[in-house]
Homo-oligomer: A and B are copies of this chain.
Amino acid sequence: MDILPYHRRINYYETDKMGITHHSNYVRFMEEARVYFLEQIGWGFDKLEAMGYLSPVLSVSCKYKQSTVFNEEILISVKVGSIKGVKFTLVYEMTKAKSGHIILTGETEHCFIGPKGMPVRVKNEIPDFYNVLITLVDDKQS
């Protein structure tokens, strides 16, 4: 499956008094990229939430490599890091659209809370989704 990177620009309100994008916003950009990634693989948030699943973020980490400025175009690629038990991780790489320089590498860890309010094993509960995810596990990560 060919997954496209997520593309967006830095908004004015996302800059701070240092003149660069405030570091907290990248966590939001990662969410935007995650939404786009899940849609591309056919398992958008809307679909999962309609099925009664919520996917809270268990952990997030970002390593900031370069700053970005207002109106700068960035690309965010998302890959599956690992799927273990009730948890899975996604890994992110943000690059400058023009130069290709790396802005950030990041990772989020998730679980799925099922209709009964408990974490579920994706493998057992949503096997169709699991089967897509597992083919996307990035060998460099796991």
Bound CA span A24–B20, Å: 18
Say if the beta carbon of A120 comes within 8 Å of chain B. no
Bound CA span A15–B22, Å: 9
Known: A23-B57, A71-B46. A16 touches B18 (CB 8 A): no
Task: Classify the interface of chain A: helix, strand, loop or mixed.
Answer: mixed
A residues contacting the other copy or chain, number (CB 8 A): 35
CB of A59 within 8 A of CB of B57, answer no
CB of B56 within 8 A of CB of A63, answer no
Say if the beta carbon of A136 comes within 8 Å of chain B. no
CB of A18 within 8 A of CB of B59, answer no
Top 7 A-B residue pairs of the complex, sorted by shortest distance between their CB atoms: A61-B61, A15-B17, A24-B27, A23-B57, A59-B63, A17-B19, A24-B28
